[in-house]
Structure 1
Amino acid sequence: METDSDASSSSEPEPVLGVPDPVRILVETTTHLVPGELYSERINGMRNVICHYHWGRAFDDATDRCYVYGLGGADDLRSERDQSRVCFFLVDSGETLSERENPPVLRYRWTGKKLVYIRRALPAVVVAKLKEYPFMRRA
């Protein structure tokens, strides 16, 4: 997880707007910074934050996919032990024509109030984890 003092990330959000679909947007944060109480509220809220920030629109089930890693449990209220766990939101938009086409991955950190663009390359462990969440291919 990046820290606020990490010199490789910007101090202000720098959206990479205009990157056409297909694209993957990866947001890392800690569970206590994700707004909402119920699990479903938290997922819906974050995927809408991501889509509004990047595309200026709400999450669209017809063109977007959202994957969540590390947020914790079903539709239960937040538990005390889950308050500071690292979690990730991955929003995919668009489709690719072939399995060899790899859409760009734009990486952000959620501070609880804003998305901060992270300029550094994805760590190998994150690249490996992304392979478990394949990008939707056109039939």
Structure 2
Amino acid sequence: MTTGEVVHAAVAAEAITPEEAHTGVDSPHCGAIVGFSGVVRDHDGGRGVTSLSYSAHPSAERVIREVAEEIASRHDGIRIWVAHRVGPLAIGDQALVAAVGAAHRGEAFRACSDLVDLVKERVPVWKEQFFSDGTVEWVGIGQ
């Protein structure tokens, strides 16, 4: 392979799983598959979190695809699967799932790290956090 391949890049209203990401990048070419799961946790900044809701700009699906294609162009021979959830999420739900398959682990780790960092930097998704004390806070992800 001379360039990477994006097998899936999406903004999803339904549940996403590390298993579907792993399966999506699996290939006889890949000797390593590295994954990332951004999971909703029950705290932030010392405060209890009860749930989250993600909202996305209409361009988010296009931007996540562009990000995945950019990473694929930087890392030869990789396969990419990435999705970010929108809508209400409970504690323990997957908010961001990514997987990268590559011939070797070093390339898979580097590409997956680059992918997650760039998704969080560029994809226009906003998080609304609901705290156990009844307060709500918006957090911007992307631009």
Aligning the two structures, in what range does the TM-score lie when normalised by the shorter sequence?
Answer: under 0.3
Q: Which has the higher helix share?
A: 2
- Normalised by the size of structure 2, how large is the TM-score? 0.25
- Normalised by the size of structure 1, how large is the TM-score? 0.26
Q: Choose 1 or 2 for highest CA Rg.
A: 2
